[in-house]
Structure formats: C-alpha cells, structure tokens
Structure 1
Amino acid sequence: MRVEVIDTSELGDRSYVVHDGRTAIVVDPQRDVDRVEAILATKALSCEAVLETHIHNDYVTGGYVLAQRTGGAYVLSGADPVDFDRVPVEDGAVLNFGALRVRVIATPGHTDTHLAYVVDQPGSADSPAVFTGGSLLFGSVGRTDLVDPARTEELTHAQYHSARRLSSMLDPDVPVYPTHGFGSFCSSGSATGGDSSTIGAERARNDALTAADEEGFVAALIANLTAYPAYYAHMAPLNRQGPTAMDLSAPKVVGPQQLPHLISAGDWVVDLRERTAYAASHLDGTISIALGAQFATYLGWLMPWGENLTLLGETAEQITDAQRQLARIGIDRPDGAAVGAAEYLAAGRLSSYPRVSFPDAAHALGLGHTHDHGHPHGHHDRNGQVVLDVRRDDERAVGFIPGSAHIPLHSLLARLDEVPPGRLWVHCASGFRASIAASLLARAGREVMYIDDTYDTAVAMGLTSTRIELQDESERDAGLVRG
C-alpha cells in the first residue's frame, strides 16, 4: 500500500491518494482535481472511492466532482446534511475497495461529524495508515471554534477525547496523515508541520496526548485560538451543496482605458506584482496583494464576498495562477483581467509611497528612546507621525513597539475611522501584511510609509517591549505618583 501526498501549501493543507498499485482511494481532495487526476493517470490507477473526513471550512472540496468524473464512491458522514447523493458512513463502518480496506472512526471536535479513516491492505505486511483530517494533527489538533463559537469549549472537550481514542486504538508505528496543520488556519495549538509522523511520535509530542489533564488542555487550546479568514463562513455551505468544477479559462480582458473607470466605481482591482514594485509605482486606487503563497487567503479574508474583482498582472500565467488559488476558496471567476502591468501603468494616474526599514523609522521618529514607553493601550502622535501595527491580537500580546497604534489587517477596512490622523508608518511581522495595509490606507486617501522589514529587526534594535514590561513600568510609575 502506498500513499501519494498532494500538498496545497497556499492553504496549509494536504490531500492523499492511497493505492495498491491498481485501486486508489482519494482523501480530502482540493477543488483543483487535475492534480489528483494526473497521479491517477501516471500510475494507471482506478479511483474507487473519495473519502471526506469532514465538511471543510477552509476550502471548497473537489471530492464531489472527482467522484462524478471517476465513478468512485463519494464517502462522508451520514450525519452531514448535504444536497447530493453519497455513501453515508458512521463510526465502526468497514468498506472495501479493491485490495484496500477502510475502517471509519468518529472523531468529533473540529466538526460534530468529523471522521478519521484507517486504511490497510489485508494480507499485506504494510502497516495501516490513518487519515485524520482536522482531528489529530502533527503536534496538535484542529481548531474547535468554526462550527459555533458558543460551542467551542464543548467541541474542544470532544477533540481531546477523539485524539486520545485514536491514540488508544492504533499501534505506535501507524503513520498519521492529517489534512490540516501545515499553515492552515484550521489548525490550533503548536501544530508542527513536517513531512511525516506516526501515532507513537504523536503520543510523545501532541498537545492533546501529552496534556496533564483535560481541563488544562481545553483552557490552553481555547486561549491560543487566533482570528481566521472571513471567507471560511462560505466554505461549508458550498461544500454541502456539491461544488461544481473549477473554471480556469481566461477572464474577460479589461483594457487600459477601462481600468480607471472600474477603480472609480469602487471595484477591487488587485495588483499581483511584487510589493516592492507596487510601492514604487502603481495605479491610484488599486490594492496590492502580491501573488504568492498567502495571496488567496488574504484576498478572501479582506474582500467583501461577491465584490467585483479585476486582477492586474504582468503575464497571463500570473492571472491563471491567481484564479486557481481563488477558485479553491470559492471565488470562481474574476470579473476581468488586465495583463501587462507596464501598459496599464502608462495609461493611468500613478501613485507611490516610501518603502522604509525599522532603522529608518527609528531614526525619523526617535523610536526606542527611554521616554517613549507610554501606556500599553494608547499610541503616541509623534508630531503627526503614527506607527500602525497591523499584526493579529495574539502577536501584539507577545510584544509591540511602545506608543504604536494597533488595528489588525483583517479588521482594517471595517475600522478605517479608528485609524489615527497623521502620516502612518505601517508594519507587520514580515512586511507582507503591511504591504496590503499600506495599499488599502493609500486607497482611502491616507499618507503612508510602508515598513518593509521584519518585526525581529525591531526586537533586535531594542524598539519593542512586552506587555508585561510595560505593565510593570506603569505600575512603578503609579507607585511613584502615589508615594
């Protein structure tokens, strides 16, 4: 029995093709099933079944389409309300496909109806393999607040028991193949990523299996849950309907003279170029989301669902790549595409903003001076200059630049009226999110200085403090006043 891994690094997920050399079972396929079909064709495999561990919240499944195309059985929990025919299964079910056997194990927590699948080849010396979806991950487990935030504690308890049940049912040498946990926002805790793991390895390191007690595990997991992309709200409904095949044909061409009208109308015109090129020169009113591993996550997180979207790229290949990423999260067809960025830049009104480093900001604003600590909950207006931190709340809680304002990128559009007046020096952890934030703020008419630098640089320069340090200083100051 062999397992082929299909990595979707852009979303932090993996899909799997399990086979015996002739018969294949596909687990949790992404929507772009051409990658699965290529493996089936290359290895001359017959897809006899498509298994879904759960109704996914972070991507549109390709399982329904793949089962239709191959004639394979489409297997998922019988308790999931869906609008299509499937092979419904429940805890304890056993299915056979060719020489492969599938045992179904209920593993609620990430969702109510979550399943894990143990696949083996009876009569073979090969070890079984367990496909754990969003249940047991490498080092941790799937997040438990996606079904209903009000039920997070209940589902976290369920996740704890599911992980321990899997561990108790399987031998230490059984390989573990999760769907999430490789950068996906569906993971939680200290998910480690990596290429492989086993039940034995997870017993030694997994949060759910090493926790001293259940209540401590539940409290720690809930405390570490972070914000997740807004588009997640649309994924499960789409997956329950039976998603259609993705369409990667070229979108309607938007000419250089049309683009300014779309921008004026308030459409999302997204420039796919590198953030450095965008900062140096871009069409006024466009938005910078550089095409890369995080492109679809942040466009889907920030753009209002159903908004008119035009992609501006340097090549047709960039547009197609962006389309593939967007179709995985249910943004099926851009309304238009503009290919040949240089031609479009020459035809429109151009803007730019300075791209600076933390040393530049420290020199210009006097960051890091001993008098600059201020109060951890407020910000300093440095003669009309404001440092704006667009990292998440959990990142900010670890440390920040004293006196900086804070609005997470994913909240920025809804909170534009809270952005302090003045010139904005915008930073994040690596420069990527700050590039998006700078473009959104410039689009809103604000003057920005884009800090294209890592937060580690600010730490190394002594520009940052932890919240504890600031609270201690505030308490000392308060004590002096009282004394």
Structure 2
Amino acid sequence: MPTQPTIVTIETPSLGDRSYLAHDGEVAVVVDPQRDIDRVLEAADEAGVRITDVFETHIHNDYVTGGLALAERLGARYHVNDEDEVSFDRQPIRDGDVVEISPTLRVRAIGTPGHTFTHLSYALESMDGSEVTASAVFTGGSLLFGATGRPDLLGQEHTDALVHHQYASAHRLADELPEHAEVLPTHGFGSFCSAGSTGGATESTIGEEKRNNTALTQEEEQWVADTLAGLDAYPAYYVHMMPANAEGPSAADLRSPERADKQTLAERIEAGEWVVDLRTRTAFSAGHVSGTLNFGLDGQFSTYLGWLIPWGAPVTLLGESSEQVDEAQRELVRIGIDRIAGAATGGPEDWTDRPLGTIEQALFADLSQVRHHRQVHVLDVRLAGEFADSHIEGAQNVPIGELLDRFDEIPQGEIWVHCGSGYRASIAASVLAARGRTVVTVDDAFANAPDAPLPMTSSA
C-alpha cells in the first residue's frame, strides 16, 4: 500500500471556505488558496515542505484567489483549466491530465462542471511502483458534504444546464473514486456557494457521500427540482470576484491603514462614508459613535459587509485593538476590498466627543409583551427562503442584502428588527439608526419566537 500523503486544511470560516496543502514530507501542492497567502507559506514552513504546484478547481465567485501570487512568489506551476479565459500565464490543465508531483505523489484532473462550466476536481494519488491509490479528492464547488455547489452563479440563463452537469459530476466522482477517498471541498462550511445544507459536517468520504448526499441518492429530476427550489439570494459582491480572478489578482496588501482621528471620523460620517464598528453587537448597542455601522468580527463579517457596501466605496475601521483592525483588513482583501481609508482603535470615547448612540436589545419574549401594549413594526432581515419557511405574523421581510435598496419601504415608527440569531439584525439596526430610525435589535434565536409566544405563519 502506498504511503498516504499528509493534508493540511486552512480554514476561512468567515467565508465558509477551505484551502488545502497536501504533501509527502518533502514537496507539496496547494489547492484553492485564499488571497492572504502568508497562511499557506506558514503551513508549508511548519511542515518543512516545498510547494511546487498550485491548483485552482475553478474561477471563484466568492473570494479573490491567492493562487497566482503564490505561484509567482515561489516559482511554482499554476494549474488553471485550459478552457478558462484568463489574462495571465498559467499551466493549462484539462480533464484527465496527470501532474507528477514526486515519485510517490501525483494529481489527476477530473472534469466536474456544474458550479461553473470549466470546474475541475483533483484526485490526490499515491504511487508505489505500479500501484496507484487515490486517497483524497479536492472537489472545490462540486461535491460538498451532503450537498453540491450551487449552479446559478453564472446567471439564470445557464442554471438549468449547470444543475444537470452538477448531478452528473457528482456521480462521476462517486463512480471513479474509491469509497475510502476523502472528500475535500472548498465550499460548504457556511459559504453561499453551496446549494443545500451541508449539515455541519467537517469531514467525509466518497462512501459516506454515496450513502448520504441527495445528489447521489435521488433520481436526477427530483434532485434538480429540489436544488432549484432551494436556491436563495447570494452576496452582491460575488459579481466582482470572477472578473478579478480572471484578471490575475496581486497578493494581498496588509500594511496597516492610516490612523483616523476624531475630526476625520466625524467628517467621514457626515459625508456618508462607511465607518464600520468591528465590536460585538452587545458592545455596539451599549454605546457607539452615531452614524457608524456595526459589522462585528464575531460573525460573517466580510460576507455581509461585502454584500451591502457600494462597490469601490472607501471604508474606515473602528476596532478595540490593532489586532482587530488587522483581522478585518485581512478579511476584506480576501473579497477584493483593498481601499481601507483609515482606522482607529480603542472605544467610542476615543472616537468622538459627541454623545454616544445606543440601541436597545431585546428578546422575542419582550417583543411578545410589547405588542400587547403598543404598535411596533417587525422587520425580518432573513433570506426570503427562511421567511417562507416560517415567520412572525405581520412581519415585513426585507432580506439583509436588499436593505439599502428597499429602505424607503420600511415604515416610520418603532422598528423591532430580527434575523435568525441576532448578527444580521444588529447590522440592519445600525443601518436604520444611522439614518435616524427608532430601532430595537432582537438579539435572540428565531427558534425561540413560537414559545415567546408570537403568532407564526408560513408562506408555503
């Protein structure tokens, strides 16, 4: 039996993605690296290995790749599908191509269209003489844990073709690879690139997917219908990712932004610029600079900031520490937001001399009581699919990604805003408060609403 390679997973939880470093103790390959390539270099240094090859499963829609920058930095071969139209030199790779990494390790490309038309998966194969064993497969946005990558990111005109391709690709992987082979997707850990729930799984094999993944257990037409019915909105910044990746993005610039003083912050807020408070929603509600927006680092920060901010607009970051600002900057460059206009650290008293703003936080039980005494407007900022499954009777649904475009649809008066857990609600509440609305954040799990008790209904 050939010696099995070591696989190091590099997590990016805020985007719901993973990158991988695989090695035989001496040489290594990298699959789908994020733009902040220092994490990959550190992983390689810790393992004491040399990276010779970088592979892209597809031209990504949800982040800016670090593949080109990493390959150029190391002089590694950069493998991108020969059919992808890109503006940089790459090592073209096609379905069926085999790349020899070392005498004991190779990578085999498998055409798996569905997430995109040119999507490739990569089987990691170990060699011992004439014996070849596939120990893992890097599936990118093809076969995920219990699901697949979504087929609608290239536009509705391509969705029908891609969803059928996706089904066929899942079956190709299941048919061609041994059941013990690890399944190593890039998406599916909270990423909006997945279609269907991954169930919180953190690892899987081809055998487990054959037993549990509906793409492999259902008939094609039923699976296609279910998949299409389950698709919901995805972040607005996605439209900018594929062009950036096809152009060939540079390495991330993580130099510290300029310091912004109280006067500068006041001027930027007055001008309507995005000044973002990175603290938790609890800290923000207790006291913040009026006019700032709360995107806490304790949630999917870059996903929701990238979804709402006008593309190309400057952003100023407010953090409790320089480490917090650095983390936010790192997250933003991953989705191509490089224009960090400035930053400040400390607390709201360090950022303004004006009276601080506050936002009341409450539970669903409080909302139930309040509705007996006065009229309030309930704003549900969850996705349309979440709202359709179940919602509070009389609530208005404005999904978080549509908030700015539909702001005028939200009536005046006292607004109680909620989501599924409180994170998106705090973002929405900060946007409403910055525009002068009276708002209360429901910082509670939506599962508690029926027991509050609040009258529930379904759009189904």
TM-score > 0.5, shorter chain as reference: yes
Deviation at 1:266, TM superposition (A): 0.6
Q: Secondary structure at the match of 2:68?
A: helix
Question: Equivalents in 2 of 1:117, 1:411: separation in Å?
Answer: 37
**Code of the aligned partner of 1:402:** E
Partner of 2:325: 319
Alignment partner of 1:106 is 2:111: yes
Question: Equivalents in 1 of 2:354, 2:247: separation in Å?
Answer: 42
Partner of 2:144: 137
**Code of the aligned partner of 2:426:** S
Alignment partner of 1:279 is 2:285: yes
Partner of 2:244: 238
Question: Equivalents in 1 of 2:134, 2:12: separation in Å?
Answer: 26
Q: Secondary structure at the match of 2:106?
A: strand
Alignment partner of 1:390 is 2:381: yes
Q: Which has the higher strand share?
A: 2
CA deviation vs aligned residue, 1:392-448 (integer Å, no higher than 9, x gap): 111111111111222111111101110022110111111111111111011111111
Deviation at 1:345, TM superposition (A): 4.5
Deviation at 1:346, TM superposition (A): 4.6
Deviation at 1:283, TM superposition (A): 1.1
Q: Secondary structure at the match of 1:282?
A: coil
Tell me the percent identity: 51
CA deviation vs aligned residue, 1:55-93 (integer Å, no higher than 9, x gap): 000111111011011111000100000010001111111
Deviation at 1:125, TM superposition (A): 7.9
**Code of the aligned partner of 1:175:** E
Deviation at 1:348, TM superposition (A): 2.9
Residues 365 and 453, structure 2, Cα contact 8 Å, conserved in 1: no
Question: Equivalents in 2 of 1:189, 1:404: separation in Å?
Answer: 26
The 5 Å alignment of 1:363-442 reads 363-366=369-372, 383=375, 385-442=376-433
CA deviation vs aligned residue, 1:10-59 (integer Å, no higher than 9, x gap): 11111111111111011111111111101211222111100000000011
Deviation at 1:349, TM superposition (A): 4.0
Residues 423 and 448, structure 1, Cα contact 8 Å, conserved in 2: yes
Question: Equivalents in 1 of 2:311, 2:354: separation in Å?
Answer: 27
Question: Equivalents in 1 of 2:126, 2:308: separation in Å?
Answer: 45
Q: Secondary structure at the match of 1:32?
A: coil
Partner of 1:14: 18
Question: Equivalents in 2 of 1:464, 1:122: separation in Å?
Answer: 62
CA deviation vs aligned residue, 1:306-340 (integer Å, no higher than 9, x gap): 11211111111110010011111111131111112
Question: Equivalents in 2 of 1:26, 1:81: separation in Å?
Answer: 21
Residues 309 and 336, structure 1, Cα contact 8 Å, conserved in 2: yes
TM-score by length of 2: 0.96
Shifted more, 271-280 versus 160-169: the winner is 271-280
Deviation at 1:350, TM superposition (A): 2.2
Alignment partner of 1:116 is 2:107: no
CA deviation vs aligned residue, 1:268-326 (integer Å, no higher than 9, x gap): 00011111121121111111111123111111111110112111111111100100111
What is the CA RMSD across the aligned residues, in angstroms? 1.5
CA deviation vs aligned residue, 1:92-127 (integer Å, no higher than 9, x gap): 111111132111111000001000111112117864
Alignment partner of 1:158 is 2:165: yes
Q: Secondary structure at the match of 1:413?
A: coil
Question: Equivalents in 2 of 1:121, 1:34: separation in Å?
Answer: 27
Question: Equivalents in 2 of 1:162, 1:127: separation in Å?
Answer: 17
Shifted more, 85-94 versus 336-345: the winner is 336-345
Alignment partner of 2:439 out of 448, 451, 463: 448
Alignment partner of 1:173 is 2:180: yes
The 5 Å alignment of 1:22-61 reads 22-61=26-65
Alignment partner of 1:78 is 2:69: no
Query: Residue 306 and residue 346 in structure 1: after superposition, are their counterparts in 2 closer, same or farther (change >3 A)?
Result: closer
Alignment partner of 1:3 out of 7, 25, 35: 7
Shifted more, 107-116 versus 142-151: the winner is 142-151
Question: Equivalents in 1 of 2:98, 2:296: separation in Å?
Answer: 46
Q: Secondary structure at the match of 1:414?
A: coil
Shifted more, 184-193 versus 324-333: the winner is 184-193
Question: Equivalents in 2 of 1:80, 1:350: separation in Å?
Answer: 51
Q: Secondary structure at the match of 1:283?
A: coil
Residues 181 and 192, structure 1, Cα contact 8 Å, conserved in 2: no
Question: Equivalents in 2 of 1:57, 1:343: separation in Å?
Answer: 39
Alignment partner of 1:263 out of 249, 269, 286: 269
Question: Equivalents in 1 of 2:293, 2:152: separation in Å?
Answer: 31
Q: Secondary structure at the match of 1:4?
A: strand
Aligned residue-pair number: 453
Question: Equivalents in 2 of 1:192, 1:343: separation in Å?
Answer: 43
Partner of 1:310: 316
- Structure 2 gap segments, 5+ residues each: none
Deviation at 1:154, TM superposition (A): 1.1
Alignment partner of 1:206 out of 204, 213, 222: 213
Partner of 1:479: none
Q: Secondary structure at the match of 1:335?
A: strand
CA deviation vs aligned residue, 1:363-407 (integer Å, no higher than 9, x gap): 11129xxxxxxxxxxxxxx64x21111111111111111112221
**Code of the aligned partner of 2:360:** P
The 5 Å alignment of 1:357-368 reads 357-366=363-372
Residues 263 and 269, structure 1, Cα contact 8 Å, conserved in 2: yes
Residues 399 and 464, structure 1, Cα contact 8 Å, conserved in 2: no
Question: Equivalents in 2 of 1:79, 1:58: separation in Å?
Answer: 20
Larger Rg computed on CA atoms? 1
**Code of the aligned partner of 2:381:** V
- Structure 1 gap segments, 5+ residues each: 368-381, 472-483
**Code of the aligned partner of 1:362:** S
**Code of the aligned partner of 1:62:** G
Alignment partner of 1:341 out of 323, 347, 351: 347
**Code of the aligned partner of 1:4:** V
Residues 257 and 347, structure 1, Cα contact 8 Å, conserved in 2: no
Q: Secondary structure at the match of 1:48?
A: strand
Partner of 1:371: none
Partner of 1:373: none
Shifted more, 120-129 versus 195-204: the winner is 120-129
